Amino acid sequence: MNHIIIGYAVLCLFIPWQAYAGDKEPDGKLLFENHGCTNCHGLNGVHPTSKYAPVLKGKPADYLIKKASAIFSGKRFSNNTRLMHEQFCIGDEKDEGCYPTPSNSELKKIAQWLSLGLAEKKKTPQALYVSAQGAYDKLQELDDKTLFIDIRTRAEVAFLGMPNDIDANIPYMTIGDYSEWNEKKQNFKLYPNSEFTLLIDEFVSKHGFDKDSPIILICRSGNRSAKAAKLLFATGYTNVYSVVDGFEGDKLKEGTRKGERIVNGWKNSGLPWSYKLKREAMYMEI
Ligand code: HEC
């Protein structure tokens, strides 16, 4: 009898609390905005507006919680985390200029939202992602240690231009002889480049790199580069990054300019590129 009464009492306490929690607690995206995370990590945690803030979207929730907790607790401290420490007044006296630090449960919600945020198509099993801006910053620091490969078709790089820092154009897909049509995409059909992994292997060893060296792949907007990264992981590469917003970026989802690629990506981020291609970076024989 006793346990029935206790059970009933617990139920009475539990149900209203659940309903309250469900109604009132904002979701991860809202929490991300309310805590000011957007100011450095970008609206969706993908396109950092701050030079040093990494892409958060699409990274596993456990990883994000671990990393953020280390920063918020003051355990992780470096020149780069200093930005976060100052903004949230970590280890310092709070005044009205301090951003509110998220609680553990808030951080969990933020991390869960961020981990789901990247379009499925852009995800890779290793979750090594970088924005166009992040790729550029990484290359400024580590240029001689990182390979930056443009995997778009030759038509794309020929007519749309290419980032200045590209080491090679090795297409993951090719257009063929323009004789076939993709009805769904309303465009020419793309075929897998049968030599893709072979060409990457050759390029990597020719430049004295190996399968653990950092390689950054860029395509139009982060779909093909994710697929190509998966393929390279499958052939033993361990450190392949995908530029999540690519060279042209995502399409605008609403408004009068809907469908145009004016949102993000290398070109829209104002990073250096040119219509003039580097002969030594091109693969002529494909
Ligand atoms: C003032 C700018 C700024 C704000 C605001 C900010 N961050 Fe950061 N954050 C950074 C920088 C810079 C780094 C990179 C630190 C490093 O490289 O060591 C970072 C790193 C991180 C990382 C680690 C990522 C990784 O891959 O190692 C996480 C997670 C994170 N921030 C979450 C958040 C969350 C959640 C918020 C909001 C509650 C937030 N940040 C607000 C600047 C900021």
Closest CA to 137 of 46, 50, 245: 50
Q: What is the pLDDT of residue 251?
A: 85
pLDDT in tens, 80-136: 888 889 999 998 888 888 999 999 999 999 999 988 778 889 999 888 988 888 899
Looking at domain 129-281, which of 3.50.50.60, 3.40.50.150, 3.40.630.10, 3.40.250.10 is its CATH number? 3.40.250.10
The CATH architecture that domain 26-117 belongs to is Orthogonal Bundle (1.10)
Ligand 1: nearest atom to the Cα of 107? 35
Mapped onto helix, strand or coil, the DSSP state of residue 168 is strand
Query: What length does the chain have?
Result: 286
Joined together, the tokens standing for residue 88 give: 């949230």
Count of beta carbons in the 10 Å neighbourhood of residue 110: 27
Joined together, the tokens standing for residue 216 give: 């950054």
Write down the mean pLDDT value for the chain. 85
Q: What is the pLDDT of residue 49?
A: 54
Give the number of C-alpha atoms closer than 13 A to the C-alpha of residue 266, restricted to the C-beta side.
26
How far is the C-alpha of 278 from the C-alpha of 36, rounded, in Å? Answer: 41
Q: How far is the CA of 140 from the centre of ligand 1 (A)?
A: 20
How far is the C-alpha of 216 from the C-alpha of 247, rounded, in Å? Answer: 12
Q: Hey, do 26-117 and 129-281 end up sharing a CATH topology, with the first three levels equal? A: no
Q: What is the pLDDT of residue 21?
A: 41
Domain positions in the chain: 26-117, 129-281
Sequential DSSP letters for 148-173: EEE-S-HHHHHHH-EETT--EE--SE
How far is the C-alpha of 164 from the C-alpha of 247, rounded, in Å? Answer: 12
How sure is the predictor about 229, in pLDDT bands with cuts at 50, 70 and 90? very high
Q: What is the pLDDT of residue 82?
A: 87
How sure is the predictor about 142, in pLDDT bands with cuts at 50, 70 and 90? confident
Who lines ligand 1 at CB under 6 A? 35-37, 39-41, 50, 52-54, 56, 64, 67-68, 71, 78, 80-81, 83-84, 87, 99, 102, 110
Q: Rounded mean pLDDT of 193-216?
A: 95
Ligand 1: nearest atom to the Cα of 39? 5
DSSP class of residue 44? T
Do 160 and 247 contact (CB within 8 A), yes or no? Answer: yes
> Quick check: 22 pLDDT over 50?
no
Q: Rounded mean pLDDT of 229-243?
A: 96
pLDDT in tens, 254-284: 777 888 888 778 998 889 999 999 988 997 7
How far is the C-alpha of 225 from the C-alpha of 219, rounded, in Å? Answer: 6
Q: Rounded mean pLDDT of 12-17?
A: 42
* Amino acid (1-letter code) at residue 113: W
